[in-house]
Structure 1
């Protein structure tokens, strides 16, 4: 089994970041590579269409608003892996209430490619996704800081 993890600090509070990315169907709000997400199975699955028109079907496997994370499995995708399971998580940054660390990790079994090739593919997807998240957060209007 192969795995990868990418994290990035973004200039917004953990709650603001979670409000943007925490909805299972919110990818089009911050990830330009995924312009469409259609809810399936009563909201427990999503049918994504990527920028190339390819379809990716994912099913939520865990969710916690309080802990600010969700996990999902890929049921169908144009990727050379099987057994894909991923988690997207938002962490507080100690001492910096207006910043959040976002971590995106996954594990999977390469299918027809090496572990290194599969890891490089998803490392790139996660890195590009978190770069897009950072750009989306930075493009939002500034909010005044209020000490707790």
Structure 2
């Protein structure tokens, strides 16, 4: 039984996050198109081109000891050779601790993401990733505080 385009795109999207969790930069770079790609990490400017985008992932991987993604609200739309995936990234991450061999404190973060894929002869490849932080109630309360 052949898999549908939606299933194949879901697999490509899952591979993207699993590859980041493993810190496998070589495999991550294979998931992206060779063409003009773009990426927006939460709080970062738009990154354009394969060099800039892949450098950003190398930097993130080099400075993140542990990262795990729990994806929720995943929606996949396919139109011809283009696919759009929207999801919520429930991220748990931690960096190196002061003492060698220990993991720093784990931090939770919510990011809404849009991943755009294009069909190629080698399967579905990432064309663009855009992540935006989700404000929590505590974030909103901090923003509402004004000096007296």
Q: Does TM, normalized by the shorter one, top 0.5?
A: no
Higher relative contact order (CA 8 A, sep 6+): 1
Greater Rg by CA: 2
Shorter-chain TM-score bucket reads 0.3 to 0.5
Greater percentage in helix = 2
Q: TM-score, normalised by structure 1?
A: 0.32
